[in-house]
Amino acid sequence: MNRLQNRTRVLVLLVAVLLLGAVGTGAVLRAADRTARRDQDQPGGPAVTEGTVTLGDPAGGRRLVFRNMAWGPHRDELTAVPADRPDGPRTASGVRCLRFYAAAGTGICLQAQHGALEDTYRAVVLDDHLRERRAFPAAGIPTRSRVSPSGHLAAWTVFVSGDSYAGTDFSTRTSIVDVRDWNLRENLEEFAVVKDGKPYQAHDVNIWGVTFADDDAFYATLATGGRTYLVRGDLAARTLTTLHENVECPSLSPDGTRIAYKKRVPGLSADAPWRLYVLDLATMTETATAEQRNIDDQAVWSGRGDLLYALPGDYGADLWTVPADGSGAARRVTEAALAPAYQG
């Protein structure tokens, strides 16, 4: 009897192992099939062709450069379209970025390097022909990037732990590099904080989402004590001064007078807490935009008083626009796109 029971147990164990193996094999095959389909053009997607993409003042007029999210051989590559025809055919550069921004002929490209056991990341400074000038190791998952209007400074933020801003269990690291002499401020948390007019120190200070005013002054988000603040940074003095509460991922307008940002609105879901607002820096008056959906992005100013930002889409993300003054309505600009930057 015992021998029969042992045989039965062995048989059950063998069947269980075979079933687990079949499930694992099926999962691997499904993942491989999905990866293969991602590398193939899909019907109905945007037209993407290989070509030359440059930064700065391109010939042929103002352009919009962004990460192409459409499935196909050019997925994740930087692509360019005419700014007045953002849903038109895309020119693919061959350069892949998870996050990207550019100004005045300087680009910052946050990349993943896929390893056998784990991925690593790096921040790559690009020239106006998207050639690598210098790369820096990044401590975690890329999330935000910006370049100063002059092209002299580049900033990036990565998640050191966690992968979302929605909760509180995350930590970021934000760096700024001067591309003229490669002076790197590796961690802005080392800057002195002035909160409510007084020096402030705390173990939970967290900085992310730089936007530049010039080659010395910038704005960013500071989090501490369960709250977020808009801070004005001074590179020379190495200080961060709080200006306004409940501001995340700020974006400075071209004329330097307003900040677009995502604001946590009471009563919304903890997983989708943000709405897109604009802050007048002279009066500290807040204006809600007409966009009523959750925004988890650092908006870009179009230069005509409109904001450009990403929302989830069929291919991962689509780009949408809305007036910054609270008027009008949100509309989709183009599908399958992320991390935009206007050039020219």
Taken in order 185, 187, 188, 189, is the CA torsion positive or negative? negative
pLDDT over threshold 70, residue 6: no
Higher pLDDT, 275 or 4: 275
Mean pLDDT score of the chain: 90
pLDDT over threshold 60, residue 28: no
Closest by CA to 63, choosing from 40, 39, 89, 38, is 89
CA distance 22 to 20: 5
pTM of structure: 0.87
Closest by CA to 50, choosing from 93, 3, 4, 7, is 93
Closest by CA to 130, choosing from 62, 53, 69, 198, is 53
CB 154 within 8 A of CB 163: no
pLDDT over threshold 50, residue 23: no
Residues in the chain: 344
CB 92 within 8 A of CB 51: yes
What is the band of 30 on the pLDDT scale with cuts at 50, 70, 90? very low
State the average pLDDT over residues 176-203.
98
pLDDT over threshold 70, residue 170: yes
CA 309 to chain centre: 10
pLDDT of residue 32: 39
CA distance 240 to 228: 13
pLDDT over threshold 70, residue 9: no
Strand order in the sheet with 106-114: 99-103, 106-114, 119-126, 132-138
Closest by CA to 277, choosing from 234, 313, 247, 304, is 247
Region of poorest pLDDT, from 15-19, 105-109, 144-148, 182-186: 15-19
Q: CA Rg, the chain, in Å?
A: 23
- The 3-state DSSP class for residue 9 equals helix
Q: Which residues contact 187 (CB under 8 A, 6 or more apart)?
A: 173, 174, 175
pLDDT of residue 26: 46
Region of poorest pLDDT, from 23-37, 74-88, 124-138, 265-279: 23-37
What is the band of 162 on the pLDDT scale with cuts at 50, 70, 90? confident
What is the band of 163 on the pLDDT scale with cuts at 50, 70, 90? confident
State the average pLDDT over residues 137-157.
97
The percent of residues above 70 in pLDDT, for the chain, comes to: 87
State the average pLDDT over residues 113-124.
92
> 232-276: per-residue pLDDT in tens?
999 999 999 999 999 999 999 999 999 999 999 999 999 999 999
Q: Which residues contact 71 (CB under 8 A, 6 or more apart)?
A: 37, 38, 39, 40, 41, 42, 45, 315
pLDDT over threshold 70, residue 280: yes
CA 288 to chain centre: 22
> 37-86: per-residue pLDDT in tens?
555 555 678 999 999 999 987 777 899 999 999 999 999 999 999 999 99
Closest by CA to 135, choosing from 116, 154, 152, 119, is 154
Taken in order 75, 113, 183, 222, is the CA torsion positive or negative? positive
CA distance 335 to 344: 22
Higher pLDDT, 111 or 2: 111
pLDDT of residue 177: 98
> 199-214: per-residue pLDDT in tens?
999 999 999 999 999 9
Angle (CA) 315 321 327, round 5°: 150
